[in-house]
Amino acid sequence: MKTIRFYFCIFTLCCSHSLFAQEESGNGMLFPQFEQGVVVLKNGVRSSASLNYNMLQQEMRFLSADSTMMTLANPSEVIVVIIGDRRFFPGSSNGSFYEEIQAGKGSFFVQRSANVISQGKASAYGGYSQTAAITSYDSYRSNGGTYKLNSDEKFKINVNSLYYLKSGNGYKKFYSAKALGKLFKNHEADIESFAKENATDFSKIDDIAKIVEYGYSLVDNK
C-alpha cells in the first residue's frame, strides 16, 4: 500500500471556559465533525483521511493518527478532495478549496468563507446593544484560528459564498443573472428572463443550480 506524507502546519487545540455569550452558526467548519474522505494527488497517489474544511481560514483540515488537527498544505499538488459524495478542488494559491455542485450536465463551484461578527455588547436586563461602548477584549479560538473579541459581547459566525463556473484552468465568478449571462455568451437575455420568471434567489444554491443547468441547456441546444 502506498503511503503519503502530508506537509502540514500543526495547530494547537485549546479548550477553555469562555466569558462570551456566543451565538454561532457552527464553529466555522463546513461539516459538524470530521468525515472520512480521500485526497487525490496529481502523482496518482490516493490517501484516506478524516477531513473537514475550515471556512474561517479557508483551509482543508485533516486528523493525524493521534487525532491532531492539521492543515493540508501544497494544494497545488492536489487534484481533488472527496468527502462522502462531495468533491472539492483547489481554488487558488492561498489554499482555499471550491466545492463542485452538479447542475444538470454541467456544474458550478462554491467558495465558502466565514468571519466572526458581533451582535452587540451585553446591556442591562439581559439584552444586547450594538451601540454600547466596548473597552475590554479577549480571544476566541476555533479550530486553530484566534480572533480578537470584545468582552460581554454576543458573537456569531457568518458564512459567505461566492460562485464560479470553470473556464479552462481557472474560474470565472458570477453573482447575479446578468453576470452569469455574460459567461453563457449570446444567451444573456434568456438567462435574465429565466431568473425573473423563476424569481431566482442567488443566495440559494438550489436556485443557482437550476439557472446554471438552464444555461448549459442553452449551449447544448445550439
pLDDT digits (tens, 9 = 90+) for 96-107: 999 999 999 899
Highest mean predicted confidence (pLDDT) among 5-14, 123-132, 153-162: 153-162
What is the arithmetic mean of pLDDT over 1-11?
Answer: 37
Residue 204: predicted pLDDT: 94
Kindly tell me if the per-residue pLDDT of 78 is higher than 90: yes
Residues 164 and 184 in one domain: no
How many structural domains is the chain composed of? 2
Residue-number span of the structural domain to which 202 is assigned: 176-222
Q: What are phi and psi of 149, to 5 degrees?
A: -125, 165
Distances (CA, A) of 54 to 67, 143, 184: 16, 8, 32
Which range among 73-87, 137-151, 167-181, 205-219 shows the weakest confidence by mean pLDDT?
137-151
Kindly indicate the confidence band of residue 215, based on its pLDDT and cuts at 50, 70 and 90.
Answer: very high
Residues 138 and 204 in one domain: no
Question: CB–CB of 54/28 below 8 Å?
Answer: yes
Residues 96 and 199 in one domain: no
Residues 124 and 74 in one domain: yes
Kindly indicate the confidence band of residue 151, based on its pLDDT and cuts at 50, 70 and 90.
Answer: low
| CA atoms of 97 and 58, how far apart (whole Å) | 7
Q: What angle do CA 214, 171, 40 make, to 5 degrees?
A: 105
3-class DSSP assignment, residue 209 = helix
Kindly tell me if the per-residue pLDDT of 22 is higher than 70: no
Question: CB–CB of 208/108 below 8 Å?
Answer: yes
| CA atoms of 170 and 164, how far apart (whole Å) | 9
Kindly tell me if the per-residue pLDDT of 5 is higher than 60: no
Which range among 61-65, 84-88, 114-118 shows the weakest confidence by mean pLDDT?
114-118
What is the arithmetic mean of pLDDT over 17-25?
Answer: 33
| CA atoms of 138 and 161, how far apart (whole Å) | 28
What does pLDDT average to over the chain? 79
Residues 199 and 160 in one domain: no
| CA atoms of 211 and 189, how far apart (whole Å) | 13
